[in-house]
Amino acid sequence: MQTTKHPYELLVRWDQNGALAGAHVQYRYVIRDGAAVIGESVGGAEPLTLDTASGFPLGDLLAQTQADALTAKAAADAERDAVLAAKAEADSARTAAEEMAAGLAETLAETRQSGIESAAQAQATLNEANATIAALRVQLAAMQVPQERL
């Protein structure tokens, strides 16, 4: 049993300005058992580059400048995809940093509020202690016997 790959279809698109926008190829796969064909299928459309055009008669259809344009477009598409992937990664990192900053701001606000409450509680305790000291001084002054009585 043997499977062979044959050119089947070439689809070329141009943009609104008449510039080459892209091209796809499809191949027909024929399965033979000896001389008898036992199966046949058409593969999915693949973006046309010089690499995917292996076995496709591009020389019969395209001038060298057009083949070069397809290669350049494939390279530009790959570069665009890499830039988009880098942008998506940067956007994800920015979102994570924003979420972290928001969490830190919330923690800081909670810590500040807790510090304010702790300071207020410490001031109240200090006021109570000062009041107790003042009361004890009054009691101590009342207990002291003047020296003349002795």
> Is residue 19 predicted with pLDDT exceeding 70?
yes
Across the range 4-19, mean pLDDT stands at 86
Query: Taking the complete model, does pTM exceed 0.75, yes or no?
Result: no
Q: What does the pLDDT read at residue 142?
A: 85
Q: What pLDDT score was predicted for residue 25?
A: 83
Instruction: Give the residue carrying structure tokens 């044959």.
Output: 6
Task: Report residue 69: phi and psi, to 5°.
Answer: -65, -40
Q: At 70, is the pLDDT very low, low, confident or very high (cuts 50, 70, 90)?
A: confident
Which stretches within 25-63 are classed as H helix? 58-61
Q: How confident is the model at residue 129 (pLDDT cuts 50, 70, 90)?
A: very high
Q: Quote the tokens at residue 95.
A: 């979102």
Q: pLDDT per residue over 26-48, tens digit each?
A: 889 999 998 899 999 999 988 77
What does the pLDDT look like over 74-127, one tens digit per residue? 788 889 999 999 999 999 999 999 999 999 999 999 999 999 999 999 999 999
- CA torsion sign, 93 to 97 to 102 to 106? positive
- Are 10 and 28 in contact, with CB atoms under 8 Å apart? no
The per-residue pLDDT for 116 is: 94
